[in-house]
Amino acid sequence: MNTPSDIVPFPIVDGQYRMEREPIVRIGVILREDDKAEVRFAVPGAGYVLEGSEGALPAGEVLSVRVEAGTLTLANTAGAEVAKAGVLRIMPPAGAQGRKAGDGVLVKEMVAGRGFHWKKLIDQTLTGILEFRADGGRVVLVNELPLEEYLVGVVTGEMSGACPPEFIKAQTIAARSWLLAQPVAPHAGEPFIWCNDDCCQRYQGTGGWSAEARDAVAACRGEVLITPSNHYCDARYSKNTGGISEDAENVWGTPMEGLVSMIDAPKGSAVERFFPVTESNIEEYLTGDWLKETDCFAGPNVCRDDELPQYLGRVDEPGTYFRWRVPVTQETLRESLVQRAGITDLRDVLALRPIRRGRSGRLNQMAVDYRAADGQRKTHLLNSEYNIRAAMRTSFLYSGAFIVADQRYAGEALASATLVGGGWGHGAGFCQIGGLGRALKGQSYAEILLAYFSGVRIERIYD
C-alpha cells in the first residue's frame, strides 16, 4: 500500500467476481465542495512519515496543511514550514492498522452529512495513508486503506458498533457489495473513487469502532451478494422503509437486480393490506390505528424509539422516523423551492399535488402549482424521489412517502400545511433499522440479506 499504482482497478469486469486479494480503496474524505483552505491534523505516535522524507512527523502535535496558489504547505504548530508540494502523502508506520476506537491520525472538523438535515463538523481518526492534494484554493484529502478496514469504519458510521453482530455482518456485506458493484466511478474525474458521505457510503474512520464490530466484519470477510446473472449486487440501503421497501426503478429510474419492493414485516402482518400503497390507501397507511400494533421490523414495537439511539450512527439525530410530521409554511416552501428546485420566478405556492408513487408510497413525480412573479399561474414538475425530498425542505425531507395534510390558505396561496410521512431515506434494498429489528428478533445475517435482496446468493470472493 505504498503508491496509488498498488490499487486494484475498478470497476471489476462484469461476471468476474473472484479476486486474488483484498483490494485497496481510495476514499475522498475532504472534498472540493467542503471549501477548506486549511486542514489540521495530529499523528498519534512515532513512525508516521511524509512520503519521500526520512524524518518522522512529531507525535501529538497539531499540524496543518494549507493551500496557497495551488501549492500545499505542511506546517507545524508554530507555523514553521515542514514541506511544500502539490501532493503530500502521510504514511503510517509499517504494519499499522486500526485495532480499537480512536486509532489513527486525528483530522479536525471534517464535514458529515453533506446536504442533509444532520450536516455537521466532527473530528475523525483515520488509519491508512492520508493523501492531501491542492485543488485550486482548496485542500482535498484522500484516505487510502484496505477494503476490510474501511468497512469497519462504514458499519460503525452508518449505524453503531453496539448493534447485534448479525446486523453488522448484514450491513458489512451490503456495503462491500455496493462498493464493488458500481459500474462507473461515483466521483469520476476526482483523485478518489468513492467519498465518505451518504451519496456513497458513510465512512467515519475509527471513532465509532467496537471490538464486536471489528470481529463481525472479520467473520464475513470477503463475502458479497451475487445476483442470478453473476454480477455483484448493487446493494443499496437506507435507514427505514416505513414498512414497505421501494423498487429501484422508482428511485433511480432503472431496474436493479435484487432491489424490488417488499413487505418489511413477518408473514401475515397487517401491513400486507397496503401493498401496493396508492393514493386511495396511503393516508391510512401513514396514520391509521393499525400502527399501534404494527409488527413491521423497522417499527417502534420492534425497534423501540427510546432504545433506538444507541444503535444509530454518530451523526444521526434520534427521532421517530417510522412515522413523522413536518410542518411547512408558505415562507419555508418558497425558500426550499427556489433554492433546491430552481423555481426562481415563484411568488406564491398554490398547491402541492402528488402525480406518481412507487409501491411503497414514495413519490417520484409531484406538481407544484404556483403564482409567478408576473402574476401568471404555473406548474412545475418535480421528477424523482430525491428531487422531491430536496425541494420540500431546505434541510432535506426524510422520505418521499408522504401526504400533504392540514392545509390552510390565505386567499389562493397555501399558508401552511403538514407533511405526514413514513420512513427515512429512499427505501430501496436493505433497511438498516428493519435489519436491526430482524437481528433483535434472532434472524441470521443471511436471513436478513435474503429478505431484502430478491434472488441473490452470498459468496466469498477473496480469503
- For residue 118, the model assigns a pLDDT of 67
State yes or no: pLDDT of 6 exceeds 70: no
Q: Do the bridges between strand 24-30 and strand 194-195 make them parallel or antiparallel, or are there none, so unpaired?
A: parallel
- Average pLDDT score over the chain: 92
**pLDDT class of 1 with cuts at 50, 70, 90:** very low
Q: What's the pLDDT tens digit per position in 444-462?
A: 999 999 999 999 999 999 9
User: Residue 270 and residue 67: Cα distance in Å, rounded?
Assistant: 59
- For residue 187, the model assigns a pLDDT of 87
Average pLDDT for 219-224: 97
- For residue 16, the model assigns a pLDDT of 57
State yes or no: pLDDT of 388 exceeds 50: yes
Burial class (CB in 10 A: 0-12, 13-18, 19+), 30: buried
Sign of the C-alpha dihedral computed for residues 346, 351, 355 and 357 taken in this order:
positive
Whether the bond between 186 and the residue before it is cis, its omega within 30 degrees of 0, is: no
> Of the spans 67-71, 182-186, 229-233, 300-304, which averages the highest pLDDT?
300-304
Average pLDDT for 32-41: 95
User: Residue 260 and residue 429: Cα distance in Å, rounded?
Assistant: 7
Contacts of 9 (CB under 8 A, 6+ apart): none
**pLDDT class of 20 with cuts at 50, 70, 90:** confident
User: Residue 111 and residue 357: Cα distance in Å, rounded?
Assistant: 33
- For residue 185, the model assigns a pLDDT of 76
Q: What angle do CA 366, 370, 375 make, to 5 degrees?
A: 160
Helix (H, G, I), strand (E, B) or coil at 8: coil
Q: What's the pLDDT tens digit per position in 104-163?
A: 999 999 998 887 666 789 999 999 999 999 998 999 999 999 999 999 999 999 999 999
Burial class (CB in 10 A: 0-12, 13-18, 19+), 135: middle
Query: Comparing 100-109, 184-193, 328-337, 428-437, which segment has the lowest mean pLDDT?
Result: 184-193
- Among 290, 277, 240, 291, CA closest to 434: 240
- For residue 313, the model assigns a pLDDT of 86
Residue that has been written with the C-alpha cell 453496539 in this structure: 162
Q: What's the pLDDT tens digit per position in 305-330?
A: 999 999 998 878 778 899 999 999 99
State yes or no: pLDDT of 19 exceeds 50: yes
Helix (H, G, I), strand (E, B) or coil at 420: strand
Helix (H, G, I), strand (E, B) or coil at 219: helix
Contacts of 62 (CB under 8 A, 6+ apart): 40, 41, 42, 77, 108
Strands (E) in 175-234, as ranges, are 194-195, 223-226
> Of the spans 78-82, 86-90, 181-185, 281-285, which averages the highest pLDDT?
281-285
Torsion of CA 437, 439, 443, 444, to 10 degrees: 150
- For residue 13, the model assigns a pLDDT of 40
